[in-house]
Amino acid sequence: MTLIFAHRGAAGTYPENTMAAFLEAERAGADGIELDVQLTKDGEIVVIHDETVDRTTDGSGWVHGMTYRELRKLNAAAKWDGRYGHCPIPHLEEVLAWLGSTRLFVNIELKNSLIAYETLEQKTIALVRRHGLEKRTLLSSFNHNSMRFCRTVAPEIETALLYMEPLYDPWTYVRAMKADGVHPYHRTVTAAFVADAQRRGLAVRPFTINKTEVMKTMFAYGVDAIFTDHPRRAKEWKEKTP
């Protein structure tokens, strides 16, 4: 059965990576949420996609150049014409504390490709463990070295490799990275690829799928999960797909 992960929360209809978007994901009946994490200047884990705050907030500058206190003053709903009022950038702690009261899975994407964020892995893993969410968490990153490191530090938490372009000899590579699955750009995914992965005990969760036609194709392939900005739409089409 294909699970539905609300990408950056229900980012199609709510400000991405905010509590409002995560709450909507739960209301929509998603199975899980996906979110992105970076570190502030004073080492706090914040939930934000870009390395800068410019695109999604009313502020400007690097996430790693601002303290948590400074970041909290910004409005992550600023680009939504006042529809959602003031939504602060969440701390990962806040999201995990709420998640504990739900049945949702969480995919924490470590945004550590452009900036190394030296302690991001250890801090994220410590928080997941503190909330007892090891079995409901998937760690992923485009930085595969980071995923290999997470596997060493936290063998009990699932890891997945994110990528845009098809991998050469993927199964040898994924095994070498000791990952549990792949999160590929959906255009690289075929029915044969999914079947092959699953035969090897590896999960396939393509991103980011918003078009109905692509949703239907992925459900038919039997992928393990999809990431979508529109969990309500995905749920509706999943129920209609035999």
Residues that contact Ca ion, how many (by CB under 5 A): 2
Q: Which of 31, 36, 44, 121 binds Ca ion (CB under 5 A)?
A: 36
Q: Does 31 bind ligand G3P (CB under 6 A)?
A: no
Q: Which of 26, 31, 36, 180 binds ligand G3P (CB under 6 A)?
A: 36
d(C-alpha 226, C-alpha 218), whole Å: 8
Residue showing the smallest CB distance to ligand G3P in the complex: 207
- Name which of ligand G3P, Ca ion, none residue 44 binds, using a CB cut-off of 5 to 8 Å depending on partner kind: none
Q: Does 227 bind ligand G3P (CB under 6 A)?
A: yes
What is the CA angle 134-136-139, rounded to 5? 70
Q: Which of 26, 34, 158, 180 binds ligand G3P (CB under 6 A)?
A: 34
Which one, 96 or 182, has the nearer CB to ligand G3P?
182
Residue showing the smallest CB distance to Ca ion in the complex: 109
**Residue-wise over 77-105: b if at least 16 C-beta within 10 A, else e?**
bbebeeebeebbbbbbeebbebbeeeebb
Scanning 34-42, 64-72, 96-104, 116-124 for contacts with Ca ion by CB under 5 A, the matching segment is 34-42
Please give the full DSSP string across 108-164, using - where no structure is assigned: EEE--SSS--TTHHHHHHHHHHHTT-GGGEEEEES-HHHHHHHHHH-TTSEEEEEES
Q: Does 57 bind ligand G3P (CB under 6 A)?
A: no
Which one, 34 or 180, has the nearer CB to ligand G3P?
34
CB distance 125 to 53 below 8 Å:
no
Q: How far is the CB of 88 from Ca ion (least distance, A)?
A: 19
3-state class percentages of the chain: helix first, strand second, coil last, to nearest 5: 40, 20, 45
d(C-alpha 102, C-alpha 189), whole Å: 31
- Name which of ligand G3P, Ca ion, none residue 39 binds, using a CB cut-off of 5 to 8 Å depending on partner kind: none
Q: Are strands 45-47 and 32-39 parallel, antiparallel or unpaired?
A: antiparallel
Any idea which residues carry the catalytic annotation? 7, 49
Q: Are strands 158-163 and 225-228 parallel, antiparallel or unpaired?
A: unpaired
Residues 119-148 that bind ligand G3P (CB under 6 A): 140
Interface positions with Ca ion (CB under 5 A):
36, 109
Residues in contact with ligand G3P by CB under 6 A are 7, 34, 36, 49, 109, 140, 162, 183, 207-208, 227
